[in-house]
A and B are shown apart, each in its own frame.
Chain A
Amino acid sequence: MTTRVLEVVRAGLVPYAEGLAWQRSLAQARIDRQLANDLLLLLEHPPVVTLGRNSRAAHLLSPVGLDVFEIERGGDVTFHGPGQLVGYPILDLTGHKPDLHWYLRTLEEALVTALAEIGIPAGRNPPYTGVWTRGGGRKIASIGIHVKQWVTWHGFALNVTTDLAQFERIVPCGIPGVEMTSVQREMGEGRGERDLWNAALTSVIHGFETAFGVEATVHDEVSRGAAASHPGA
């Protein structure tokens, strides 16, 4: 049996609307079997607030000056912005385990493993979805996904060097009183932002390899949509 391949695309800074259209088209291509492998898009968005299908307007406290998108992922309101590592796994779950709850938990495990690799003890905080620093302390990563015909899109947002003050404009994930944190805040000063970002990117890829049992091949994105031109296997 050969190991499944995960094509990882490091896409850099992508405007939210563009990223949304991109992942939707890739997911459709995966559903239509035009893509041979699972994909993981890793990127960063300019500041934006997104409302999941479970959002309540009251959880958006201060939207002034921010783009707001209402989208098809699970979960409540969240913030994306520079310094936050956003991952959109486009996975065909029939090749793994056709089980949404398994997928959510495995996504969490991938991030916990990644954080362990860079030296941040973290874990789950049942019944909430997402990743918290050890003991359910502070929330470091958010998760919200969408699935159609067992193909996933949307995904996770890991705060690396995110400006945490931005979260004060919302009630993150609709959980009042939740304290958000970032890799930078947990690691303390002393490491450059670029260095933290690269460490987070690398360990997230390792985390996916371990948790999902896949082999990552990493691409630095040249032209968006190029990945979609792979013929089906």
Chain B
Amino acid sequence: MTRYVMVADLRRCVGCQTCTAACKEGNATPPGVQWRRVLDIERGTYPDVQRVFLPVGCQHCDDPPCMEVCPTTATRQRADGIVTIDETLCIGCSYCIMACPYDARSLTGAAAYAFGNEPIVSEAQRGTRPAGLATKCDFCAARIDAGVARGLVPGRDPAASPLCVNACISGALSFGDRDDAEGPVARLLAENRWFRLHEEEGTGPGFYYLWDREAP
């Protein structure tokens, strides 16, 4: 079996938001919608303070709460673990947005553009999504599928990997098949301490955080 997962090495992440920008540009998300973003978290009391950068987005759960509540089956889970939204079926009811413990989904609204009411040339070229759709990270599924079709390996070959991973300048983000024991993602998980967000929810996130300290 193949189970695609994301691994974020928090020891590497510097919070630069390059992944955020690459995702926004590559997926043409409108202003305010960030399928990938990096949280800037502080804990402790001066002078004993930690500041941690935490990349977040859809966790592509084993048991996605969003899918469970979707009344139209627009939200689905592929055999490789990627959770997708069929835009032709989505009715924008927002149940999934409410159900997601990770605040990973957005509902498209009226068309919005970087510089105001009119699209700039590049935005017009990319087009806009209709209002009333739930959107989120899909691990760049189209790139993965196109890459795999060409014999490429997701997580190893950039043309078959998510844009955020390709763009990450610190090497914090890794992607790949967790079930490929010889693959880089499986090795990272085998060789390092890790945690997942909201483990107590029982969602089985497909997003792992490498961290050598207490979970932020």
A, B co-complexed = no
Interface residues of A (CB under 8 A from B): none
